[in-house]
Structure 1
Amino acid sequence: MAKKIIAFGASSSTNSINKQLAQYAASQFKNTDVEVLDLNDYEMPIFSLDKEAKNGIPELANHFFEKLGTADLVVVSLAEHNGAYSTAFKNIFDWTSRINPKFFQQKQTLILATSPGPRGGSTVLEIAKNRFPFQGADVKGSFSLPNFNDNFNSNEGITNKEKKDELLEIIQSIEL
Protein backbone atom coordinates (compact mmCIF):
# COMPACT_ATOMS: atom_id res chain seq x y z
CA MET A 1 0.00 0.00 0.00
CA ALA A 2 1.34 3.42 -0.98
CA LYS A 3 2.27 5.80 1.79
CA LYS A 4 0.52 9.18 1.91
CA ILE A 5 2.30 12.52 1.70
CA ILE A 6 0.58 15.79 2.54
CA ALA A 7 2.52 18.67 0.96
CA PHE A 8 1.94 22.41 1.03
CA GLY A 9 3.62 25.73 0.57
CA ALA A 10 3.18 27.86 3.68
CA SER A 11 2.03 30.84 1.63
CA SER A 12 -1.24 32.22 0.33
CA SER A 13 0.27 33.30 -2.98
CA THR A 14 -1.57 31.81 -5.94
CA ASN A 15 1.81 31.41 -7.69
CA SER A 16 3.67 30.27 -4.58
CA ILE A 17 7.23 29.20 -5.27
CA ASN A 18 7.14 27.36 -1.95
CA LYS A 19 4.10 25.37 -3.04
CA GLN A 20 5.99 24.48 -6.23
CA LEU A 21 9.01 23.33 -4.21
CA ALA A 22 6.87 21.29 -1.78
CA GLN A 23 5.04 19.61 -4.64
CA TYR A 24 8.32 18.87 -6.44
CA ALA A 25 9.97 17.43 -3.31
CA ALA A 26 6.94 15.26 -2.53
CA SER A 27 6.94 13.93 -6.10
CA GLN A 28 10.49 12.63 -5.63
CA PHE A 29 9.35 9.96 -3.15
CA LYS A 30 8.65 6.56 -4.73
CA ASN A 31 5.43 4.58 -4.26
CA THR A 32 3.50 7.35 -2.56
CA ASP A 33 0.20 9.16 -2.92
CA VAL A 34 0.71 12.92 -2.74
CA GLU A 35 -1.99 15.38 -1.76
CA VAL A 36 -1.05 19.04 -2.16
CA LEU A 37 -2.93 21.46 0.06
CA ASP A 38 -3.54 25.12 -0.76
CA LEU A 39 -3.56 27.40 2.28
CA ASN A 40 -6.17 29.56 0.58
CA ASP A 41 -8.62 26.71 1.23
CA TYR A 42 -8.03 27.23 4.97
CA GLU A 43 -8.50 30.97 5.30
CA MET A 44 -9.95 31.79 8.73
CA PRO A 45 -10.47 34.84 10.94
CA ILE A 46 -7.27 36.07 12.53
CA PHE A 47 -6.74 34.04 15.67
CA SER A 48 -7.64 35.57 19.01
CA LEU A 49 -8.77 34.15 22.32
CA ASP A 50 -11.83 36.42 22.15
CA LYS A 51 -12.88 34.98 18.78
CA GLU A 52 -12.29 31.46 20.04
CA ALA A 53 -14.40 32.11 23.17
CA LYS A 54 -17.21 33.63 21.10
CA ASN A 55 -17.27 31.30 18.08
CA GLY A 56 -15.13 28.28 18.92
CA ILE A 57 -12.43 26.85 16.70
CA PRO A 58 -13.23 27.24 12.98
CA GLU A 59 -14.14 24.05 11.11
CA LEU A 60 -11.34 24.76 8.64
CA ALA A 61 -8.79 24.35 11.45
CA ASN A 62 -10.30 20.94 12.21
CA HIS A 63 -10.13 20.02 8.52
CA PHE A 64 -6.46 21.03 8.33
CA PHE A 65 -5.68 19.05 11.50
CA GLU A 66 -7.50 16.00 10.09
CA LYS A 67 -5.59 16.26 6.79
CA LEU A 68 -2.27 16.23 8.64
CA GLY A 69 -3.50 13.19 10.55
CA THR A 70 -3.88 11.21 7.31
CA ALA A 71 -0.22 11.65 6.34
CA ASP A 72 2.72 9.32 6.69
CA LEU A 73 4.90 12.31 5.82
CA VAL A 74 4.26 16.06 5.80
CA VAL A 75 6.29 18.14 3.34
CA VAL A 76 6.06 21.85 4.05
CA SER A 77 7.93 24.63 2.26
CA LEU A 78 7.92 27.88 4.18
CA ALA A 79 7.62 31.31 2.67
CA GLU A 80 9.66 33.88 4.56
CA HIS A 81 7.85 37.13 5.26
CA ASN A 82 9.96 39.66 7.13
CA GLY A 83 12.13 36.89 8.56
CA ALA A 84 9.29 34.68 9.84
CA TYR A 85 6.28 32.60 8.79
CA SER A 86 3.74 34.06 6.38
CA THR A 87 0.63 35.40 8.09
CA ALA A 88 -1.52 32.83 6.28
CA PHE A 89 0.51 29.93 7.72
CA LYS A 90 0.89 31.47 11.18
CA ASN A 91 -2.88 31.89 11.46
CA ILE A 92 -3.51 28.25 10.52
CA PHE A 93 -0.72 27.27 12.94
CA ASP A 94 -2.35 29.28 15.74
CA TRP A 95 -5.87 27.93 15.19
CA THR A 96 -4.77 24.32 14.69
CA SER A 97 -2.60 24.39 17.81
CA ARG A 98 -5.77 25.13 19.80
CA ILE A 99 -7.10 21.71 18.74
CA ASN A 100 -3.87 20.05 19.83
CA PRO A 101 -0.59 21.83 20.64
CA LYS A 102 1.16 18.91 18.91
CA PHE A 103 -0.87 19.42 15.74
CA PHE A 104 1.75 17.72 13.53
CA GLN A 105 0.69 14.56 15.41
CA GLN A 106 4.21 13.06 15.50
CA LYS A 107 4.22 12.82 11.70
CA GLN A 108 7.51 12.57 9.88
CA THR A 109 8.12 16.04 8.49
CA LEU A 110 10.39 17.43 5.79
CA ILE A 111 10.85 21.19 6.10
CA LEU A 112 11.81 23.24 3.07
CA ALA A 113 12.12 26.91 2.20
CA THR A 114 12.90 28.90 -0.90
CA SER A 115 12.97 32.52 -1.98
CA PRO A 116 14.02 34.56 -4.99
CA GLY A 117 17.04 35.75 -2.99
CA PRO A 118 20.38 34.22 -2.03
CA ARG A 119 19.38 33.13 1.50
CA GLY A 120 16.55 30.86 0.34
CA GLY A 121 14.30 31.49 3.33
CA SER A 122 17.01 30.32 5.72
CA THR A 123 15.75 32.45 8.63
CA VAL A 124 12.23 30.99 8.63
CA LEU A 125 13.69 27.52 8.05
CA GLU A 126 15.73 27.84 11.26
CA ILE A 127 12.67 29.04 13.17
CA ALA A 128 10.69 26.01 11.97
CA LYS A 129 13.47 23.51 12.67
CA ASN A 130 13.55 24.72 16.26
CA ARG A 131 9.78 25.19 16.72
CA PHE A 132 8.07 22.34 14.84
CA PRO A 133 9.24 19.55 17.19
CA PHE A 134 7.34 21.32 19.99
CA GLN A 135 4.28 21.14 17.72
CA GLY A 136 4.65 17.38 17.32
CA ALA A 137 6.69 17.26 14.11
CA ASP A 138 9.20 14.44 13.75
CA VAL A 139 11.58 16.51 11.64
CA LYS A 140 13.52 14.20 9.32
CA GLY A 141 15.29 16.84 7.29
CA SER A 142 15.42 20.42 6.11
CA PHE A 143 16.43 22.01 2.85
CA SER A 144 16.83 25.54 1.52
CA LEU A 145 16.79 26.48 -2.17
CA PRO A 146 18.24 29.95 -2.76
CA ASN A 147 17.63 32.04 -5.87
CA PHE A 148 14.51 30.10 -6.85
CA ASN A 149 14.15 31.68 -10.29
CA ASP A 150 17.74 30.69 -11.20
CA ASN A 151 17.61 27.19 -9.68
CA PHE A 152 14.12 25.87 -10.48
CA ASN A 153 11.83 25.58 -13.45
CA SER A 154 8.41 23.99 -13.74
CA ASN A 155 9.51 21.39 -16.30
CA GLU A 156 12.67 20.07 -14.62
CA GLY A 157 12.24 21.07 -10.98
CA ILE A 158 15.56 21.90 -9.33
CA THR A 159 18.08 22.69 -12.06
CA ASN A 160 21.10 23.28 -9.81
CA LYS A 161 22.79 19.85 -9.65
CA GLU A 162 24.36 20.37 -6.20
CA LYS A 163 21.07 21.49 -4.65
CA LYS A 164 19.09 18.75 -6.41
CA ASP A 165 21.53 16.10 -5.15
CA GLU A 166 21.33 17.58 -1.65
CA LEU A 167 17.54 17.31 -1.60
CA LEU A 168 17.54 13.79 -3.07
CA GLU A 169 20.00 12.66 -0.39
CA ILE A 170 17.66 13.96 2.30
CA ILE A 171 14.68 12.28 0.64
CA GLN A 172 16.53 8.96 0.40
CA SER A 173 17.30 9.12 4.13
CA ILE A 174 13.58 9.26 5.03
CA GLU A 175 12.01 5.85 5.49
CA LEU A 176 8.37 5.63 4.58
Structure 2
Amino acid sequence: MAQILAFAGSNSSTSINYKLVRHTVSLIADHKIQVLNMANFPFPMFSVDLEAREGYSNSLIELKNDIQTADGLVLSVNEHNSYPSAYFKNLLDWLSRIERKFLLDTQLLLMSTSPGRRGGKGSLEASRSMLERFGGTIAATFSLPSFNDNFDMEKGIVDDALRAQHSEALQTFLSML
Protein backbone atom coordinates (compact mmCIF):
# COMPACT_ATOMS: atom_id res chain seq x y z
CA MET A 1 0.00 0.00 0.00
CA ALA A 2 1.44 3.35 -1.08
CA GLN A 3 1.13 6.67 0.75
CA ILE A 4 -0.42 9.33 -1.54
CA LEU A 5 -0.60 13.04 -0.77
CA ALA A 6 -3.15 15.04 -2.76
CA PHE A 7 -3.74 18.78 -3.09
CA ALA A 8 -4.40 21.56 -5.56
CA GLY A 9 -2.01 24.39 -6.33
CA SER A 10 -4.75 26.84 -5.43
CA ASN A 11 -5.61 28.48 -2.14
CA SER A 12 -9.14 29.39 -3.24
CA SER A 13 -11.99 28.12 -1.08
CA THR A 14 -13.93 27.36 -4.29
CA SER A 15 -11.05 25.84 -6.28
CA ILE A 16 -12.14 23.69 -9.21
CA ASN A 17 -8.68 22.10 -9.17
CA TYR A 18 -9.32 20.99 -5.59
CA LYS A 19 -12.63 19.49 -6.76
CA LEU A 20 -10.73 17.58 -9.47
CA VAL A 21 -8.23 16.33 -6.86
CA ARG A 22 -11.05 15.16 -4.55
CA HIS A 23 -12.72 13.33 -7.44
CA THR A 24 -9.46 11.71 -8.51
CA VAL A 25 -8.59 10.34 -5.08
CA SER A 26 -12.15 9.02 -4.68
CA LEU A 27 -11.26 6.59 -7.48
CA ILE A 28 -8.21 5.17 -5.67
CA ALA A 29 -8.51 2.02 -3.59
CA ASP A 30 -5.97 0.11 -1.49
CA HIS A 31 -3.68 3.08 -0.80
CA LYS A 32 -3.37 5.47 2.12
CA ILE A 33 -4.45 8.94 0.98
CA GLN A 34 -4.00 12.31 2.66
CA VAL A 35 -5.86 15.23 1.07
CA LEU A 36 -4.87 18.81 1.88
CA ASN A 37 -7.01 21.86 1.25
CA MET A 38 -4.46 24.58 0.54
CA ALA A 39 -6.98 27.27 1.49
CA ASN A 40 -5.90 26.33 5.04
CA PHE A 41 -2.22 27.10 4.31
CA PRO A 42 -1.77 30.89 4.03
CA PHE A 43 1.97 31.22 3.45
CA PRO A 44 3.43 34.74 3.19
CA MET A 45 5.10 35.81 -0.05
CA PHE A 46 8.65 34.51 -0.12
CA SER A 47 11.46 36.96 0.49
CA VAL A 48 15.04 36.30 1.53
CA ASP A 49 14.65 39.00 4.18
CA LEU A 50 11.60 37.28 5.67
CA GLU A 51 13.36 33.92 5.49
CA ALA A 52 16.40 35.31 7.33
CA ARG A 53 14.27 37.08 9.93
CA GLU A 54 11.64 34.41 10.64
CA GLY A 55 12.85 31.15 9.13
CA TYR A 56 10.30 28.51 8.15
CA SER A 57 6.85 28.09 9.64
CA ASN A 58 5.88 24.82 11.29
CA SER A 59 3.12 24.30 8.71
CA LEU A 60 5.64 24.66 5.87
CA ILE A 61 8.04 22.16 7.46
CA GLU A 62 5.16 19.75 8.10
CA LEU A 63 4.04 20.08 4.46
CA LYS A 64 7.55 19.35 3.22
CA ASN A 65 7.72 16.31 5.52
CA ASP A 66 4.33 15.09 4.29
CA ILE A 67 5.52 15.44 0.70
CA GLN A 68 8.75 13.59 1.40
CA THR A 69 7.06 10.69 3.20
CA ALA A 70 4.56 10.23 0.37
CA ASP A 71 5.26 7.75 -2.39
CA GLY A 72 3.22 9.83 -4.78
CA LEU A 73 1.47 13.16 -5.21
CA VAL A 74 -1.84 13.85 -6.89
CA LEU A 75 -1.60 17.52 -7.76
CA SER A 76 -3.85 19.76 -9.85
CA VAL A 77 -2.54 23.22 -10.69
CA ASN A 78 -4.68 26.23 -11.39
CA GLU A 79 -3.87 28.82 -14.01
CA HIS A 80 -3.69 32.60 -13.92
CA ASN A 81 -2.96 34.21 -17.31
CA SER A 82 -1.55 30.94 -18.73
CA TYR A 83 0.85 30.35 -15.83
CA PRO A 84 0.71 28.81 -12.35
CA SER A 85 -0.86 31.03 -9.73
CA ALA A 86 1.33 33.23 -7.56
CA TYR A 87 0.24 31.09 -4.61
CA PHE A 88 1.58 27.88 -6.15
CA LYS A 89 4.83 29.47 -7.33
CA ASN A 90 5.28 30.96 -3.84
CA LEU A 91 4.70 27.54 -2.28
CA LEU A 92 7.41 26.02 -4.48
CA ASP A 93 9.76 28.88 -3.62
CA TRP A 94 9.36 28.24 0.11
CA LEU A 95 9.62 24.44 -0.16
CA SER A 96 12.72 24.57 -2.35
CA ARG A 97 14.46 26.85 0.15
CA ILE A 98 14.09 24.23 2.89
CA GLU A 99 15.37 21.49 0.62
CA ARG A 100 16.12 21.97 -3.08
CA LYS A 101 15.18 18.41 -4.12
CA PHE A 102 12.12 18.14 -1.86
CA LEU A 103 10.38 15.95 -4.48
CA LEU A 104 13.23 13.47 -4.99
CA ASP A 105 11.90 9.93 -5.63
CA THR A 106 8.30 11.16 -5.71
CA GLN A 107 5.91 10.11 -8.47
CA LEU A 108 3.36 12.73 -9.52
CA LEU A 109 0.01 12.69 -11.24
CA LEU A 110 -0.01 16.27 -12.48
CA MET A 111 -3.38 17.65 -13.54
CA SER A 112 -5.00 20.96 -14.35
CA THR A 113 -8.44 22.27 -15.10
CA SER A 114 -9.97 25.63 -15.90
CA PRO A 115 -13.29 27.03 -17.07
CA GLY A 116 -11.69 27.58 -20.50
CA ARG A 117 -11.14 25.22 -23.40
CA ARG A 118 -7.38 24.85 -22.81
CA GLY A 119 -7.92 23.32 -19.37
CA GLY A 120 -4.97 25.06 -17.72
CA LYS A 121 -2.43 23.56 -20.13
CA GLY A 122 -0.09 26.56 -19.84
CA SER A 123 0.11 26.14 -16.09
CA LEU A 124 0.42 22.38 -16.41
CA GLU A 125 3.46 22.64 -18.68
CA ALA A 126 5.17 25.35 -16.61
CA SER A 127 4.51 23.39 -13.41
CA ARG A 128 5.86 20.21 -14.95
CA SER A 129 9.18 21.91 -15.63
CA MET A 130 9.40 23.35 -12.10
CA LEU A 131 8.42 20.10 -10.37
CA GLU A 132 10.99 18.09 -12.31
CA ARG A 133 13.65 20.62 -11.32
CA PHE A 134 12.91 19.81 -7.67
CA GLY A 135 13.36 16.06 -8.23
CA GLY A 136 9.79 14.99 -8.98
CA THR A 137 8.97 12.38 -11.61
CA ILE A 138 5.85 13.15 -13.62
CA ALA A 139 4.26 9.72 -14.03
CA ALA A 140 1.25 11.06 -15.94
CA THR A 141 -0.58 14.28 -16.78
CA PHE A 142 -4.22 15.14 -17.38
CA SER A 143 -5.94 18.36 -18.41
CA LEU A 144 -9.69 18.86 -18.04
CA PRO A 145 -10.96 21.65 -20.30
CA SER A 146 -14.19 23.58 -19.76
CA PHE A 147 -14.63 22.40 -16.18
CA ASN A 148 -18.19 23.69 -15.84
CA ASP A 149 -19.29 21.72 -18.91
CA ASN A 150 -17.26 18.56 -18.32
CA PHE A 151 -17.55 17.99 -14.58
CA ASP A 152 -20.47 17.20 -12.29
CA MET A 153 -20.01 17.08 -8.51
CA GLU A 154 -21.91 13.79 -8.25
CA LYS A 155 -20.92 12.09 -11.52
CA GLY A 156 -17.37 13.40 -11.90
CA ILE A 157 -16.04 13.77 -15.43
CA VAL A 158 -19.06 13.54 -17.72
CA ASP A 159 -17.39 13.45 -21.15
CA ASP A 160 -16.60 9.81 -22.05
CA ALA A 161 -13.32 10.55 -23.86
CA LEU A 162 -12.05 12.82 -21.08
CA ARG A 163 -13.09 10.32 -18.41
CA ALA A 164 -11.11 7.62 -20.25
CA GLN A 165 -8.04 9.90 -20.50
CA HIS A 166 -8.29 10.67 -16.79
CA SER A 167 -8.61 6.99 -15.92
CA GLU A 168 -5.59 6.11 -18.05
CA ALA A 169 -3.48 8.85 -16.43
CA LEU A 170 -4.55 7.71 -12.95
CA GLN A 171 -3.75 4.06 -13.72
CA THR A 172 -0.35 4.99 -15.13
CA PHE A 173 0.42 6.98 -11.97
CA LEU A 174 -0.71 4.15 -9.68
CA SER A 175 1.38 1.61 -11.61
CA MET A 176 4.49 3.73 -10.92
CA LEU A 177 4.06 3.66 -7.12
Answer whether TM exceeds 0.5 for this pair. yes
Task: Name the CA distance, whole Å, in 1 between partners of 2:128 and 2:92.
Answer: 15
Matched residue, 1:169: 168
Could you say what the CA RMSD is over the residues aligned between the two structures, in angstroms? 1.2
Matched residue, 1:151: 150
Maintained 8 Å contact 1:39/1:88: no
Task: Name the CA distance, whole Å, in 2 between partners of 1:128 and 1:66.
Answer: 20
Matched residue, 2:49: 50
Tell me by how many angstroms 1:26 deviates. Answer: 2.2
SS in 1 for 2:79: coil
Asked if residue 76 in structure 1 is aligned to residue 64 in structure 2, the reply is no
Maintained 8 Å contact 1:57/1:98: no
Maintained 8 Å contact 2:111/2:143: yes
Task: Name the CA distance, whole Å, in 1 between partners of 2:89 and 2:26.
Answer: 25
SS in 2 for 1:64: helix
| Percent of aligned positions that are identical | 37
Letter in 2 for 1:73: G
**Superposition pairs of residues 1-176 of structure 1, within 5 angstroms:** 2-174=1-173, 175=175, 176=177
Task: Name the CA distance, whole Å, in 2 between partners of 1:54 and 1:165.
Answer: 49
Task: Name the CA distance, whole Å, in 2 between partners of 1:32 and 1:3.
Answer: 5
Structure 2 unmatched ranges of 5 or more: none
Maintained 8 Å contact 1:5/1:35: yes
Letter in 1 for 2:83: A
SS in 1 for 2:13: coil
Maintained 8 Å contact 2:4/2:31: yes
Task: Name the CA distance, whole Å, in 2 between partners of 1:173 and 1:57.
Answer: 35
Maintained 8 Å contact 1:27/1:34: no
Letter in 2 for 1:13: S
Tell me by how many angstroms 1:115 deviates. Answer: 0.3
Task: Name the CA distance, whole Å, in 1 between partners of 2:172 and 2:89.
Answer: 29
SS in 2 for 1:94: helix
Letter in 1 for 2:146: N
Tell me by how many angstroms 1:68 deviates. Answer: 0.7
Letter in 2 for 1:118: R
Letter in 2 for 1:24: H
- Give the alignment's TM-score, normalised by structure 2: 0.93
- Give the alignment's TM-score, normalised by structure 1: 0.94
Pair 129,166 (structure 1): closer, same or farther in 2 beyond 3 Å = same
Task: Name the CA distance, whole Å, in 2 between partners of 1:30 and 1:59.
Answer: 31
Task: Name the CA distance, whole Å, in 2 between partners of 1:55 and 1:146.
Answer: 40
